[in-house]
């Protein structure tokens, strides 16, 4: 299901990702959600999460326990 705000993101994402990375994740997830409406709910959710993480990883990298801008 699409995320209306950053507060709707899972707590694990909110606690680990910088705010800008959260915004990237949310935007990519919501865009993918609209794009792949024809998939089953499970496939759609999984694919949207993969796409959103891919978008985050284009701008951020994980160093230790922190995500830093590239």
Q: Give the number of domains in the chain.
A: 1
What digits encode the pLDDT tens for the residues 27-40? Answer: 999 999 999 999 99
Q: Is residue 38 part of a domain?
A: yes
* Cα distance between residue 49 and residue 2, in whole Å: 11
Specify the CATH number for the domain of residue 32: 1.10.1740.70
Per DSSP (E only), the strands in the chain are: 60-63, 66-69
Q: Is residue 9 part of a domain?
A: no
What digits encode the pLDDT tens for the residues 47-63? Answer: 999 999 999 999 999 99
Predicted TM-score (pTM) of the model is 0.94
Q: Is residue 8 part of a domain?
A: no
Q: Is residue 63 part of a domain?
A: yes
* Cα distance between residue 70 and residue 55, in whole Å: 12
């Amino acid at each position: 299901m699409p995320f209306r705000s950053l507060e709707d993101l899972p707590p694990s994402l909110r606690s680990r990702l910088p705010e800008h990375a959260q915004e990237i994740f949310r935007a990519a997830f919501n865009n993918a959600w609209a794009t792949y409406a024809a998939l089953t709910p499970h496939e759609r959710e999984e694919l949207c999460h993969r796409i959103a993480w891919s978008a985050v990883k284009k701008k951020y990298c994980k160093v230790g326990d922190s995500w830093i801008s590239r």
